[in-house]
A and B are shown apart, each in its own frame.
Chain A
Amino acid sequence: MSLKTPTRTTAAEARHPSNSAQGSHRPARALAVLKKNTSGLVVLIILSVLVVLPLGLVLLAAFSDSVPRPGSISLGGLTLSNLALLATPEAFGALVNSLMVGTGSALIALLIGAFLAFVCARSDAPWRKFIFFIGMAPMFIPALVGALAWSLLSSPSAGYINILLRDLGIDAAINIYSLPGLVFVLGIFYAPYAFLLLHSSLSMMNADLEEAATVHGAPLRTMLRTVTLPLALPAILGSAVLVFALTMENFPVAQVIGNPAGVDTLPTYIYRLMSATPAKSNQAASVAVILTVALMAVTVIQQRIINKRKFTTMTGKGNRPRQVPLRKLRWPFTLLAVGYFAVSVVLPMLALLTASMQATPFVSSISQLLEANSLSFAKLLEVLGSNDFQLALKNSVLVALIAAFAGTTLSFIASYVRYRTKSRTGRLIELVAMTPLAVPAIVMGIGLLWTWLLLPLPIYGTLAILAVACVAVFLPQGYRGVSASMLQMDQDLEDSAVMLGAGRARSVVDVTLPLMRVGITSSFLLFLMLSMRELSASIFLFTSNTRILSILVFDNFDNGQSQAAAAVSVLYCLVIGILAVIAQKAGGERKTKS
């Protein structure tokens, strides 16, 4: 950018000889250009440290024989030998598994999400409000906890479902520790993403378009096939690709469910390489590069599909699209939805509660659980009172709050530079801010680890680095929320404050911030909720003093203490639930105010 400026100035002056006669103004103008871009450059530098540098280090490590460390960073040891690993059956198997997991769970999530969205938004089934809740509820259970719950439910030997089957004399066992099991768990816990996208597409669809089809003689079935479905298609494809991307990079579920089965996906393979002794960091980096490239390709496709959607189905009109009468299927459809609720929320929660309350670690039959004194709150209370839990809780909340505050602030400044100034850095800022969308969290974690070991700022080993990780990983979501809200606000509102004598900063504080408070608060809450659930990046960044709740659950499970893991999980979900209720309250208040 700074290289371009002088050439531009000379070109302009060549066309206006009167200007170049006074050559002394040239530096003044270059300075003006620099001044105009200062804030943009500062934001760009922060974003680069946050996003670009970590990725660069991973890329460097992938093609190097040493790990980037202070003093030892050089381009001397460049090699392609790490790539040889990619030809091994292990790495290739992990890649194939990742693709299968992504495809399978995207299909399941799409089926569930589309079904729920249709029933909730466009049918006359009973309990539609509850079905909307059903569609969203699993989002409040971190995928890690969901996976843990399902391993309690149907691990081949000790799973509650399998014990029940044995009790009933049925000679069949469900083995969740398998590739289909992994696909199933990911599918049900990522279905809400498909549901939310499709629900908004179906309920915001312009009713006129459908009515036009009816007026021109199409019966209901034909209308659904020729108008509704094509209009919803971008959302359908978009959500399927989104779930594919999310599940392909998912680490916690793959680790909990896949690891016992010996099923490796790319993220778990990376983790295994990183935690081997000695760590095979360079190989891990090369696998990380493959995963990132794959995810980038998928994300680009997804963004293309989603961007198309804007032109087809969004309308500002409040007219309600038509309801499809289900007749005999009304109750069966609702029951199916409730069935999904049982599988995604009720059973997992029951399993976690039971596991954390059972008196003996081993259960041989379900009837044993019904005996007196077989269940107690002792373990839960013990965990609640333990230093480990209290520290992790404090850390989690602190990290989430810092991340939410820093992330929202950064998102606002970046959006402002992009959409409210003429700074040439704007587009680049947006690109960098959106990049983490296409970077697996686990890769970001490795990159951040190396970055902050390298940088002179000593935040490694503190909570700050966990907050930094959350900001980096969730920046796209925050940035998108804030910039959407900024674009909705007429720039004249801020400019008029400037015209009336306020400085730019003052105008932002007096006018822009108050008018954007809804968008800003939701972005803050989004950062908060997402950061509370984060595991994949933090797993490389925590120390014994900076464990957060997700890490505590993972550690306990990893050490075979599934009862402790279950107990922490129950409390973890409780904390998230409380935060969600507070967020909802805050949201409700905002609505009544405006």
Chain B
Amino acid sequence: MDNRNCKRYRDEINKMELTLPAISVNEGMARAAVAAFCAQLSPSPTDLADIKCAVSEAVTNCIVHAYKHKKGNFYITVNLYSDKTVRIEVLDKGCGIADVRRAREPLFTTDAAGERSGMGFTVMENFMDRLTVSSREGKGTLVVLTKRLGRKTAEEE
């Protein structure tokens, strides 16, 4: 679906698929695995740190919000492209998000008692070039994170 929109001159050079149970110890596992896979594009330390942080946020959302600490898996697909673009999908089959626009607002959280900062989507948005969130209540959520490596972020410019 997404491929129709990006008629860029680039080829997929590698792809990784990863399925993990939604338990909190896998937050570290997921970001380490994605970072190790992205290393073949020789990212800068800043780019790599941004990706790790964004993946950590997306995966934490699966564990805390989508499955609410109940059993389930999350599915990560990473595509690497020849123009140094990284595309990361994080999919869950959890409860879904009722109002995606609201969920993406800074400081919004449905779990105030849990000391959540409500900054997860804000971090993903700021640390990556592009964030898309598609969700259906009762079905699950798909988060797509895209970043072209070696580009300066808005802050650095």
A binds B: no
- Contact residues of B with A, CB < 8 Å? none
